[in-house]
Every structure is written in C-alpha cells, then in structure tokens.
C-alpha cells in the first residue's frame, strides 16, 4: 500500500507541476457560479443520480451522432473499415431498442447507487476540492489503464467456448460495428465488464466530477473503437498505445484476438494480436503488388 501511495503521490506532484505552468482558466468563475447553483438547489443524491444519468445519456448519443451521420456522407465512406458491410436501418433500430433497455433497466439501477458509492468512499462534492482539468485528465488515464486490464481478461474469458454463446454472443451480433453498438450487450456483460469502470474510481476518485469526466472519456473511447470508421487526425490517436477503431473492428470481424478495450499492450504481451498483425501484413503486401 505504501508503494502505491508513493507512486500516486509522485504522479500527482508531476501533474501539479504541469498544472502550475498553465495559465488560469478564464471559465473558472462561470463554472464556479454554475456549480454553486447546482449545490444550492439540488441534493447530493439528485446530483449523483440524475446528474450522472443525464451526463451518460447526453454524452453517449452526442458521440454516436458523427458516426451515424457518416453513413449519409459519400466522402466519409473511404474511411469506413468494412466497406462491404454498410449500416442498415433495421440493425440500427434493433440496436437502439436494446440500448434503451440496457440504459434504463440495467444501468440506471447501478447509477442509483452512485450517491451511496460516493458517501461510502467519502467523495466530496464541494467546489474548493474540485480538481483542475489536468488532474482529471491524469486520473482518467489511470482509470483507463485499470479498466483496460479488467476488460482484457474478463472479455477474453467471455470468449471461452463454454460461455460465449450465452453472454458475449449478443455483442458480436454485428460483425461490422457502428458507434451506437458500443453498449449493445447482454445485461450480464453490461454488469461484468462495466464493473471495471468503478475500480479506477475507487483508486483515484477525490471528487464526484471525476465520475463524469471518466464516463465521458470512456464513452468517447468505446464509441470511437466501435465506430467502424478510421478517421485520420483522430485526437485519441495521441494517447500512448491507443488501440483505435481499426484494431477493435478486426475483433468484431474475426471474433478472436484484440481483446483489450483501450490499449494494445495486453494483446501484445499475450500475442493475441497475432492474427490482426498477419491480416494487415497481407493487406500491405496486396497494396505493394
């Protein structure tokens, strides 16, 4: 525990140094006024529960919107990874109905526990202890590293031949993924893989806003890798070892390998990206010929 505390302290000192070199945020006072209004007009339970639900729903469908619109823009089709498998209204409507069920009958009851989660771990809501964006960014990266490890091993387990057809097969119904399909899954999978989301929160969380920052980052990442489009100049590609859409798209097309959610290192360590590497090597050879 002492080693972990030392590592975290060193990381926070590094972020604190970077933060001290940055100019003050001109939006700080308006944000403070808005946050004070929320604290003065809503209870902690309302902020944690309905605030989290609104953030999740708004961010999810906002990030899904570009990929949804791409199917109507001919110019964007050159970036579609599996060009022989276009989206259909039937698949998208089926996906949307499943999403509504998962969001409101599986995830909402879990979100209702957010207030009790914050109370149990003593996570504050006040403005004075709210971390600046540099801290939130660093904490989100730490959460992503932890969630990625959980996702890799549990996701790989869900692909076991004795388990796959009962749970994870639902998510693989679409061999050519699209953004809205990111959370299209069996309810048990939503709970099993979703548990990894909270582990990083238990390690890093020092304010309720990290919950919202982390869910925003996680949704942005999972919708991007399920988008079916490999867009140049994607800012997420600046994240070290980021897997990206092409990496995860192959998982849906091939069913085997590329099990990690965000980064590539677990697949490299266990050589579960070998089929992906061979596939792209053949594609490069065809291009050369």
Into how many domains does the chain fold?
A: 1
Please state which of the ranges 74-78, 117-121, 282-286 shows the lowest mean pLDDT. 282-286
Per the listing, tokens 């969380």 go with 205
State phi, psi for 188 to the nearest 5 degrees.
-65, -35
Residue 131: DSSP 8-state? P
State phi, psi for 80 to the nearest 5 degrees.
-70, 135
Q: What is the CA radius of gyration of the chain?
A: 20
Rounded Cα distance between 279 and 270, Å, is 18
Rounded Cα distance between 24 and 132, Å, is 10
User: Is residue 76 included in any domain, yes or no?
Assistant: yes
pLDDT of 4 reads: 46
Rounded Cα distance between 177 and 93, Å, is 14
| Domain assignment of residue 267, given as a range | 46-288
pTM over 0.75: yes
Average pLDDT over residues 133-152: 95
237 pLDDT above the threshold of 80 = yes
Q: What is the pLDDT of residues 3-23, one digit of tens each?
A: 444 544 555 555 554 455 445
Q: Using 50, 70 and 90 to split pLDDT, how confident is the model at 205?
A: confident
Rounded Cα distance between 229 and 232, Å, is 9
- State percent of the chain over pLDDT 70: 90
Query: How close are the terminal C-alpha atoms of the chain, in Å?
Result: 56
Residue 237, CA distances (Å) to 76, 147, 230, 232, 274 in order: 18, 18, 10, 9, 21
Q: Could you tell me how far CA 116 lies from the centroid of its own chain? A: 23
User: Is residue 9 included in any domain, yes or no?
Assistant: no
135 pLDDT above the threshold of 80 = yes
């Amino acid at each position: 525990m002492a080693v972990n505390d030392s590592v975290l302290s060193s990381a926070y000192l590094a972020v604190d140094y970077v933060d001290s070199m940055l100019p003050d945020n001109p939006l700080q006072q308006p944000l403070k006024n808005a946050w004070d209004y929320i604290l003065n007009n809503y209870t902690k339970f309302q902020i944690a529960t309905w605030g989290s639900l609104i953030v999740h729903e708004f961010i999810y469908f906002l990030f899904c919107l570009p990929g949804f619109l791409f199917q109507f823009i001919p110019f964007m089709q050159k970036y579609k990874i599996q060009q022989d498998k276009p989206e259909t209204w039937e698949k998208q409507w089926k996906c949307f109905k499943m999403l509504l069920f998962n969001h409101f009958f599986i995830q909402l009851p879990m979100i209702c526990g957010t207030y009790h989660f914050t109370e149990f771990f003593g996570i504050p809501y006040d403005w004075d202890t709210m971390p600046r964006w540099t801290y939130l960014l660093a904490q989100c990266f730490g959460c992503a590293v932890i969630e990625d490890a959980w996702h890799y091993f549990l996701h790989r387990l869900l692909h076991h031949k004795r388990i796959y057809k009962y749970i994870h097969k639902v998510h693989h119904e679409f061999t050519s993924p699209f953004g809205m399909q990111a959370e299209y899954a069996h309810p048990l999978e939503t709970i099993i893989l979703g548990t990894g989301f909270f582990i990083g929160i238990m390690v890093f969380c020092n304010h309720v806003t990290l919950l919202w920052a982390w869910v925003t980052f996680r949704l942005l990442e999972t919708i991007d890798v399920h988008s079916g489009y490999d867009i140049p100049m994607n800012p997420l590609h600046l994240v070290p070892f980021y897997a990206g859409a092409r990496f995860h798209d192959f998982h849906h097309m091939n069913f085997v390998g590329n099990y990690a959610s965000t980064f590539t290192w677990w697949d490299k360590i266990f050589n579960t990206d070998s089929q992906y590497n061979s596939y792209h090597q053949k594609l490069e050879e065809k291009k050369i010929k």
